[in-house]
Structure 1
């Protein structure tokens, strides 16, 4: 009698159904996902593409976990898609902070997955880092946490490892996104400065980081002033002119004119010697930056007829009409 009852249990039915052809209805969305998303794209230094995929997957997995729990994860989903254990399931759990799922996976699976702590760092899942601190971590963990300004994650990673795996991308990413507090923490870890950090800060308008790096004797290249001018960051152009010696190129005024940054164009014309090319006037003309065109024609065109001769006729006709 007791043996007969075994034949009516749900667990036995589940085991039988695993060996049947086809897919259970609740697994169909994951089959479609598996076709269109074979793997997670983890591209340093940005985590944005991966995060977008994980958010989309969360719309499937979140409700599915609530409906079926861990039992069906191992008895059905991972039986049908075994490679997901070290892929999507593990990565989604790290991103969403689902320790129950991570702990249910084989230690061998976790050990073979190199991006668990990297993803947890990018998603600010500190409890995942603490619980799985024995796993490996790469420089991407610092890069992604730095880009998001997650100082607590970076401090934990640095404290947990005597020789943290830091790449230049970490401080560059923090500089790009304006996270001064992260830049201040990271700077002592670098034996040699890099020009990329100040270039990135200047490009994106973070004067406080430019000043901090300058004060600590980090350097930049001509790209700093060129790109600050490109994006209209007059205060940074002024600071670099006053305090740095790297200078700029003709791209600075060309870019500023192209994007209609009149005050930047004026400052470069009055205080810098690099000048511009005919691209400055042509691009300002094409984009209808009337004030920039008037300034350049009044100040520059009359001083160099050969430059004026090289401007397309359609641009000259427009200039004469304003």
Structure 2
């Protein structure tokens, strides 16, 4: 009886529970989600590209936040340490989601209870990605990477880029300007050009030309001509139908390859094909006629024949018929 009384003691029962398996009922849904989605957070440790810091990651964090917010409103901070200790990934999801959604109070609590802080994720980078300036200020003593400024540049968050440049030491990589140019954030590119020395690569010009960002193309060639020059830029602008960009690149000493005419034919850009064949010497390959025919562009097929552009007529006819463009043949 004495042993049973000890086991039933109010102070002993919780201690015994700590060494037993299972989880608390109020935490089941959160734990199940973390177990299912924990691997998604691995994106946070990788370099910034289009596939990282992306919609899938934001969706996973958002879903967790949707589950966690009502739990926290019911149980409060007093039960939070027990939740965080319930799973190795739980603390990561709680802290990452609080940073992403700008929950300053919860981030402050986490800063005061560093034993619950996930150390494998660059929290500064997450705050920069989410454009949470107030949270970013709280994380002054936490490490970050060049991803922070790179991803803020990619997403056009000039305020974040400025803060990172003024208050952090990690800097950025060429990806900052490259990605900002891709998404036409001219203010960010101008700031980085004035305040940073990393520069950019030809990817910046190629991406800007691909998307028809003429002002961006002009800026890049004015400030980074020797670095960004690439024949791929005019090829890309031609393929995607950006005649104003093609003309500017041509006027400023950029070159192209036969891909420029060939792929302009594929996509039906007659005006660009006329400009290139009239003003440039690269010409086209037999693919130009085949591509135009395969896509049903009779006007281009007619023009190419008038200009005596090299052609494999048999292949062109075959491609046109294969795709149902009998009017071309």
Separation (CA, whole Å) in 2 of partners of 1:210 and 1:184: 12
Unaligned runs of 5+ in 2: 1-17, 70-97
Separation (CA, whole Å) in 2 of partners of 1:73 and 1:204: 49
- Tell me the CA shift for residue 142 of structure 1: 0.9
Q: Give the alignment of 1:147-158 within 5 angstroms.
A: 147-158=182-193
Separation (CA, whole Å) in 2 of partners of 1:283 and 1:47: 34
Q: Decide whether aligned partners of structure 1 residues 104 and 59 sit closer, same or farther in structure 2, where only a CA change above 3 A counts.
A: same
Q: Decide whether aligned partners of structure 1 residues 78 and 243 sit closer, same or farther in structure 2, where only a CA change above 3 A counts.
A: farther
- Secondary structure, counterpart of 1:82 in structure 2: coil
Unaligned runs of 5+ in 1: 1-16, 294-322
The two structures, once aligned, show a CA RMSD in angstroms of 3.1
Separation (CA, whole Å) in 1 of partners of 2:305 and 2:257: 20
Contact persistence 2:53–2:129 (CA under 8 A):
no
Separation (CA, whole Å) in 2 of partners of 1:215 and 1:61: 53
Contact persistence 1:41–1:50 (CA under 8 A):
no
Aligned counterpart for 1:35 among listed residues 35, 39, 47: 39
Aligned counterpart for 1:51 among listed residues 44, 51, 54: 54
Aligned counterpart for 1:183 among listed residues 196, 217, 222: 217
- Tell me the CA shift for residue 22 of structure 1: 5.6
Aligned counterpart for 2:149 among listed residues 108, 117, 120: 117
TM-score after normalising by structure 2: 0.72
Q: Decide whether aligned partners of structure 1 residues 21 and 94 sit closer, same or farther in structure 2, where only a CA change above 3 A counts.
A: farther
Separation (CA, whole Å) in 2 of partners of 1:153 and 1:22: 48
Q: Say yes or no: does 1:138 pair with 2:173.
A: yes
- Tell me the CA shift for residue 21 of structure 1: 8.0
- Secondary structure, counterpart of 2:176 in structure 1: helix
1:127 maps to what in 2?
159
Q: Decide whether aligned partners of structure 1 residues 164 and 106 sit closer, same or farther in structure 2, where only a CA change above 3 A counts.
A: closer
Contact persistence 1:255–1:280 (CA under 8 A):
yes
Contact persistence 2:43–2:57 (CA under 8 A):
no
1:69 maps to what in 2?
106
Q: Give the alignment of 1:159-308 within 5 angstroms.
A: 159-161=194-196, 163-188=197-222, 189-191=224-226, 193-293=229-329
- Secondary structure, counterpart of 1:83 in structure 2: coil
Q: Give the alignment of 1:7-18 within 5 angstroms.
A: none
Separation (CA, whole Å) in 2 of partners of 1:22 and 1:78: 21
- Tell me the CA shift for residue 257 of structure 1: 0.9
- Tell me the CA shift for residue 49 of structure 1: 5.7
- Tell me the CA shift for residue 122 of structure 1: 1.0
- Tell me the CA shift for residue 234 of structure 1: 0.7
Q: Decide whether aligned partners of structure 1 residues 122 and 25 sit closer, same or farther in structure 2, where only a CA change above 3 A counts.
A: farther
- Tell me the CA shift for residue 26 of structure 1: 7.9
Contact persistence 1:259–1:284 (CA under 8 A):
yes
- Tell me the CA shift for residue 35 of structure 1: 2.4
- Tell me the CA shift for residue 94 of structure 1: 1.5
TM-score after normalising by structure 1: 0.74
Aligned length: 270
Contact persistence 1:203–1:231 (CA under 8 A):
yes
